[in-house]
Amino acid sequence: MAEEEVSANLYEEEVRTNQKNRSQGHYAVHGWEFSIGPDTTDTLDIVFPFVIDLLEAHVVSDPDGTGDEVDVVVAPDTIVCALGADANAGDKIITVSDVSYLKLGYLFRVGSEAEHYPYIIAIDELTNQVTLGYATWPGRSAYSGLSQGYSASTPTYCAMTIPMITDFFIVGGESIDLGRSILNTSDLPADTTLRIRYKNNHASNTHKLRFVLEYLY
Q: What pLDDT score was predicted for residue 47?
A: 96
- Is the same domain home to 38 and 54? yes
Same-domain check for residues 36 and 86: no
The continuous run of DSSP H or E covering 212 comes out as: strand 207-216
Domain count, the chain: 2
Domain housing 192: 22-68+170-217
Together in a domain, 85 and 151? yes
The 10s digit of each residue's pLDDT in 147-158 is 999 999 989 999
Secondary structure (3-state) at 73: strand
For position 183, what pLDDT does the model report?
56
pLDDT confidence bin for 19, thresholds 50/70/90: low
pLDDT of residue 184: 63
* Integer Cα distance of 127 and 69 in angstroms: 38
End position of a domain, from candidates 138, 163, 188: 163
- Give pLDDT tens digits for 175-210: 888 777 665 667 889 999 999 999 999 999 999 999
- Domain membership flag for residue 188: yes
Residues 48 and 87 in one domain: no
User: Mean pLDDT across the stretch 29-46?
Assistant: 94
pLDDT at 168 > cutoff 70: yes
In a domain, 189, yes or no: yes
Same structural domain for residues 130 and 206? Answer: no
Q: Does 3 fall in a domain? A: no
Do the domain assignments include residue 73? no
Task: Say what the pTM is.
Answer: 0.82
Q: Which residue has the higher pLDDT, 47 or 23?
A: 47
Query: Are 177 and 35 within 8 A, CB to CB?
Result: no
Q: How far apart are CA 156 and CA 79, in angstroms?
A: 10
Chain segment 106-141, per-residue pLDDT in tens:
999 999 998 678 999 999 999 999 999 998 878 778
Among 137, 163, 189, the domain boundary falls at: 163
DSSP 122-172: EEETTTTEEEEE---BTTBPPP---SS-B-TTS--EEEEEEEEEEEEEP-T
173: number of CA atoms within 13 Å, CB side?
Answer: 2
Helix (H, G, I), strand (E, B) or coil at 195: strand
Residues 152 and 90 in one domain: yes
Whether residue 57 contacts residue 111, with contact meaning beta carbons closer than 8 Å, is answered with no
| Residues of the chain by 3-state class (helix, strand, coil), percent to 5 | 0, 50, 50
86 and 104 in a common domain: yes
Q: Are residues 198 and 133 in the same domain?
A: no
The answer on 138 and 88 residing in a single domain is yes
CATH code, 179:
2.60.120
- Going by C-beta distance under 8 Å and a sequence separation of 6 or more, which residues neighbour residue 188? 10, 48, 51, 52, 53, 54, 74, 194, 215
